[in-house]
A and B are shown apart, each in its own frame.
Chain A
Amino acid sequence: MESTALLQKLTAGMAFRGNPATLLSSSSASSHFARVQASAWPIMQGSRLRRLNVEATDLNANAFGTMPHSSTGLKIITKAVAVKTERGSTATAQQGHELLLFEALREGLDEEMERDPTVCVIGEDVGHYGGSYKVTKGMAEKYGDLRLLDTPIAENSFTGMAIGAAMSGLRPIVEGMNMGFLLLAFNQIANNCGMLHYTSGGQFTIPIVIRGPGGVGRQLGAEHSQRLESYFQSVPGLQMVACSTPYNAKGLMKAAIRSENPVILFEHVLLYNLKERIPDEEYVLCLEEAELVRPGEDITILTYSRMRHHVLQAVKTLVSKGYDPEVIDIRSLKPFDLFTIGNSVKKTHKVLIVEECMRTGGIGASLRAAIMENFFDELDAPIGCLSSQDVPTPYAGPLEDLTVVQPPQIVFAVEQLCKH
């Protein structure tokens, strides 16, 4: 399809930031939609969620047939009943303490560094600056410069250095200031980190944690909006986990540090300011387990990281429409928790994967293949997969919104799949 024609079609129904009512003056029904939209989507703590009106030419929608125009198709209920979303096993309402996700990461890190003197953090601006996302703020004063090591801008070598240190007994945590910068260290991660346990016949373990924020942010540009989970998933020997809430961020951080395997912990730039109440007691989560966010009967929605929150937004709409989706945050990107996923598929018989990776070769692609191979007989419908577009993330706000999966698309996809 002609790119300009596509663009025209896309922009025809698009909401521009800051002034939703200005657009869509051509269609009276859509301006009603725009007004309704503004109030229907709640503001997520620490991040403004822009809503989006997507035309039929949306590539994801092609998988499910043409998406109807908003004025005729989507019926938005302004006062959706708030569904009590179970977030795994969180603390009870009264006990525990409230904090933001980056603070939860810091808490986990702090506890582990206190517990084990061989744990150290290596990265750019982690020490004196306190971390570019404040994850290590205040820790250099507590633990010293050697354990919170400020490195020069040399990802390849400081990742290699961390791997060398891990080989001889330390437990380093490498922070990529942005996950995308770790592409410079791809050789070290793929060849040395992932393989040394194997090629040395089991002599060396690499108990390293590689973490950092990734994902599409707020107009950060193409090179700072990378999703590396798709690139690293083929490297044998690595484990990958993605956190999405303060509760699982702290638990996964601790588990990753304690693991003897190299673990890549994917955080998301936009989730650092999520607030949640987490237990006071110490807890460590399992690296290979998925999290049942919301039990349901109609369809299994598999998601991770930021898309979990988009899914939960969509679930509010779906529930008000009478659907009962089961939402699972897969958390473990490699290996998949096919046990939890399989049990869910056996119950609902329909699967929708919502991810932020690119469509080509992403986590969804592998997960689809794994589910198909293992649970084909349980499926009543083809596995749906909503992923980001295979494009470099554009800078312009509306275009950026179009690259990532938005809640209306999720609602539409669920409706289509549930027709089976």
Chain B
Amino acid sequence: MASQLLRRAGKLINVSASATKNLASSLAPISQANRSFASAAEDTNPITIEIAVPYKAHKCEPPSLLATTTPQELVQFFKTMFLMRRMEIAADSLYKSKFIRGFCHLYDGQEAVCVGMEAALTKTDCIVTAYRDHCIHLGRGGTVKEIMSELMGRKDGCSLGKGGSMHMYKKENNFYGGNGIVGAQTPLGAGLAFAQKYSKVEGVTLAMYGDGAANQGQLFEAMNIAALWDLPVIFVCENNHYGMGTAEWRSAKSPEYYRRGDYVPGLKVDGMDALAVKQAVKYAKEYALTKGAFVLEMDTYRYHGHSMSDPGSTYRTRDEISGVRQERDPIERIRKLLLAKEIVTVADLKNMEKEAKKEVDDAVAQAKESPQPDPSELLSHIYVKGLGTEVFGPDRKEFTAVLP
């Protein structure tokens, strides 16, 4: 018995020994190859990648399936998506240890939509989204620390702790939130595009919503208005196939959300492929700037439930979740691409992951030490007023003091 085990152990050791030998031999050509980590991150030679899943087009021509990118961009994709993933997982554990309260909607699984979008946009373009906004805020120039502080309701949060998970904004980078009511952000998006057209700003607005919000009347109103006046707005439906607990086939007669604009042309994109997203958004931006409204449907998936209060397994099987994670995970896709194109090594990736984890851990630690907002902040920012008047209710009581 024991000898059997020993023999087995020996086999294992032999196996691992040979594996390391193989690894060593396989490492050798890479290290001899011209690129090391430092230069890959700066390598801007264009490379062409073929997008795996073809686009589905509605009343327009789909863009080409050949995406041009650079090693630098791919490395950046990986780093950003991994950071987002770590951030959301940290938010998960913080929620479970009751540092984050209320509603916390996590974005893990959908990172490719955000990074792909940002790669095709500039900060002149406006983004408005719903409550699943932590990663979008990060993509728009936010820091992990201010996101974590906001989630924990601290003073250093991006909305001074007064907004919370669902109300993150970054005005200087044209990120308009962060909206709690499903679908209410789509008319806001039309309004942002209207302002861009009015002030003749060369930019587009991305009004993001989910498959659940796709059934809101105000979305159709906004699409009609946008198409009528040729507003430069791109309606981006992040279709993760579940509107909280209701699957798309149970809530929509036509779950082809890219077609639901009817007269508005649309495109269905594999939302787990950052490059496909980038290509589609580039195409849509060109269309929106020249012609008018456009719809993009991002076929994506969320691993967590709708929010932290939702286990996420009562309306879908764990097999489905793990299946998507194995086959379509956006980070794994970029990882495989980076390794296949020999842009980075496994060790490089491990370093990047470690850095991201450290960044998130540091940010969480700093956020935990950030103070709670001062009680006088309760009554600030109700009205815009100078001269010391902070708020007055119907009976004109002005509060500047500490509340009991």
Contact = CB atoms under 8 A, between A and B. Distances in A.
B142 to A, nearest CB: 12
Interface in A355-392: 366-367, 369-370, 373-374
B195 A164 contact: yes
B381 A201 contact: yes
Interface in A387-418: none
A158 B225 contact: yes
B194 A165 contact: yes
A203 B380 CA distance: 12
Interface string A160-173: 11111111111000
Interface residues of A, number: 54
Interface string A252-272: 000000001100000000000
B394 A170 contact: no
A162 B221 CA distance: 13
B281 interface: no
B392 A335 contact: yes
Contacts of A159: 187
A337 B187 contact: no
Instruction: Specify which of B160, B164, B171, B195 lies most central, judged by the most chain A CB atoms within 10 Å of its CB.
Output: B195
Contacts of A197: 381-384
A163 B194 CA distance: 11
A37 interface: no
Contacts of A165: 191-192, 194-195, 198
Contacts of A236: 382
Interface in B129-183: 157-164, 167, 169-171, 174, 176-181
A109 to B, nearest CB: 17
A18 interface: no
A156 B199 CA distance: 23
Q: Could you say which of B164, B167, B194, B217 has the most chain A C-beta atoms within 10 Å of its C-beta?
A: B194
A200 B163 contact: yes
Interface string A172-209: 00000000000000011001100011111111110000
A78 interface: no
B191 A163 contact: yes
B162 A199 contact: yes
Nearest to B166: A199
Contacts of A95: none
A200 B167 contact: yes
Interface string B298-309: 000000000000
A247 interface: no
Contacts of A201: 157-163, 169, 381
A146 B395 contact: no
A233 interface: yes
B380 A167 contact: no
Contact of A233 (B189, B190, B228, B394): B394
A164 B396 contact: no
Given A156-B218, A336-B394, A373-B395, A161 B126 contact: no
Contact of A160 (B160, B170, B222): B222
Contacts of A191: 180-181, 184
B80 interface: no
Contacts of B189: 164
Q: Which of A156, A163, A191, A369 has the most CB atoms of chain B within a 10 A radius of its CB? A: A156
B381 A157 contact: no
Given A199-B162, A335-B392, A370-B394, A168 B225 contact: no
B198 A164 contact: no
Interface string B206-235: 000000000001100110110010000000
A187 B186 CA distance: 13
Contact of B395 (A118, A202, A338): A338
Contact of B187 (A118, A169, A188): A188
Contacts of A188: 184, 187
Nearest to B163: A199
A237 B190 CA distance: 23
A154 interface: yes
Contact of B194 (A154, A156, A164, A366): A164
Contacts of B174: 168
A152 interface: yes
B225 A154 contact: yes
B188 interface: yes
Contacts of A288: 392
B376 to A, nearest CB: 13
B237 to A, nearest CB: 17
A115 B305 CA distance: 51
B128 interface: yes
Contact of B171 (A118, A152, A204, A237): A204
Contacts of B404: none
A204 B190 CA distance: 17
Nearest to A372: B395
A151 B231 CA distance: 13
Interface in B378-395: 380-385, 392-395
A335 B393 contact: yes
Interface in A293-331: none
B382 A198 contact: yes
A239 to B, nearest CB: 7
A126 to B, nearest CB: 14
A120 interface: yes
Given A191-B180, A191-B184, A198 B169 contact: no
Given A201-B381, A237-B382, A164 B179 contact: no
B396 A337 contact: yes
Contacts of B228: 152
Given A156-B187, A157-B187, A200 B224 contact: no
5 smallest CB-CB distances across A and B, nearest first, come from: A164-B191, A160-B187, A370-B395, A164-B188, A157-B221
Interface of B: 126, 128, 157-164, 167, 169-171, 174, 176-181, 184, 186-192, 194-199, 217-218, 221-222, 224-225, 228, 380-385, 392-396
Given A156-B187, A203-B169, A373-B395, 17 more contacts: A118-B198, A146-B198, A152-B224, A154-B224, A157-B221, A161-B222, A164-B128, A164-B188, A167-B191, A167-B192, A170-B195, A187-B181, A199-B169, A200-B177, A202-B381, A233-B394, A338-B395
23 contacts: A120-B198, A152-B221, A157-B222, A158-B187, A160-B184, A161-B187, A164-B194, A168-B196, A169-B195, A170-B198, A188-B184, A199-B163, A199-B169, A199-B177, A200-B177, A201-B169, A201-B381, A239-B383, A261-B385, A288-B392, A335-B392, A336-B394, A336-B395
